[in-house]
Amino acid sequence: MPIPGQSFRFTHAILRAPAGSIVDGLRAIDTGSPDAALFRAQHAAYRDALEAAGLATTVLAPLEEFPDSVFVEDAALCLPEGAVVLRPGAPTRLGEAVMIEPALLEAFEKVRHLPALGDHGHGRIEGGDVLVTDREILVGRSARTNGAGIEALREVVRDWGYRVRELATPPEILHFKTDCGLLDGETILTTRRLAAGGHLGDYRLIHVPDGEEAAANAVRINDVVLLPAGFPRTADLLRTAGYAVVALPNSEAAKVDGGMSCLSLRFRRIA
């Protein structure tokens, strides 16, 4: 069941090295293909930041057949009690969930799969739409995550004591967490367009400045907040609010709709 601090206190992380095929990764808007060599360098800096924050990291081999597989968060949900293998909504990414399972079995005693429920069959859900807080799991319905997928997740984590709450992701936003990130158990960094729905009103909200919406996908790791570089007003805002900020280069992941959270599966092992 939810544990205070579980939403940002971690001991381990699983990453996957970017493949050369990342140049063929999915993107909502084409701003140019990522430079594979620069992506690898930025990915290494991200791993270094996780380790500096106190995490033991495992980096899986690249998967050339799955260009987007570097974004491991979409394929699974990791909780202290165990891991859940998800079902990505993009058809070209379905195989990523199968490929991440061996690493989950190495890391967790319990690895679960989403059930097929009633007439809805197999739902679809990506980790980019899932935000775990200290009191619930928020899931944004999006083009990649449907109602059946959310209901399946609700069923599979019920006996672990989790409440799953469905929210609406505005249609112009790819993933729910494209526009938000958890800063602590009760505080969410968000864009105004996501917050406009009013569903996050029971949390303390910090709004990213206009023009820096891409900074919203920050990720809290123990005592630091990892923020994509290039958003100085957001960095200053967070530091003023009392958070330690580490800005990391993310230009290449951003070209294929990637942010700070989707590059890793973070979890805390229960002794």
- Judged against a pLDDT cut of 90, whether residue 120 lies above it is answered with no
pLDDT category at 5 given cuts 50, 70, 90 is confident
pLDDT of 54: 98
Contact 142, 127 (CB under 8 A): no
pLDDT of 183: 98
Catalytic positions, please? 175, 262
Nearest alpha carbon to residue 253 among 264, 269, 266, 242 = 264
Contact 11, 54 (CB under 8 A): yes
- Judged against a pLDDT cut of 90, whether residue 116 lies above it is answered with no
Please give the single-letter amino acid code of residue 181.
G
- Judged against a pLDDT cut of 90, whether residue 28 lies above it is answered with no
Structure tokens at 214: 């891409």
Structure tokens at 241: 């609010």
Contact 186, 241 (CB under 8 A): no
In sequence order, what are the beta bridge partners of 184? 187
The single residue listed with the structure tokens 């995490």 is: 55
- Judged against a pLDDT cut of 70, whether residue 118 lies above it is answered with no
Domain layout of the chain by residue ranges: 12-267
- The CATH class, in words, for 12-267 is alpha beta
Contact 34, 78 (CB under 8 A): no
pLDDT category at 6 given cuts 50, 70, 90 is confident
Structure tokens at 199: 């569903």
pLDDT of 113: 96
pLDDT of 71: 98
Least confident of 17-31, 54-68, 211-225: 17-31
What are 49-93's pLDDT values in tens digits? 999 999 999 999 999 999 999 999 999 999 999 999 999 999 999
Structure tokens at 161: 């004591």
Nearest alpha carbon to residue 252 among 27, 59, 13 = 27
pLDDT category at 122 given cuts 50, 70, 90 is confident
Give percent of the chain with pLDDT exceeding 70: 96
pLDDT of 178: 96
- Judged against a pLDDT cut of 60, whether residue 1 lies above it is answered with no
What 3-state class would DSSP assign to 78?
strand
User: What's the chain's average pLDDT?
Assistant: 94
pLDDT category at 3 given cuts 50, 70, 90 is low
CA distance 69 to 18: 7
DSSP state, residue 1: -
What are 162-188's pLDDT values in tens digits? 999 999 999 999 999 999 999 999 999
Structure tokens at 220: 């809290």
Least confident of 58-62, 188-192, 197-201: 197-201
What 3-state class would DSSP assign to 152?
helix
CA distance 34 to 1: 40
Nearest alpha carbon to residue 93 among 40, 145, 166, 29 = 145
pLDDT of 11: 97
Prediction pTM value: 0.94
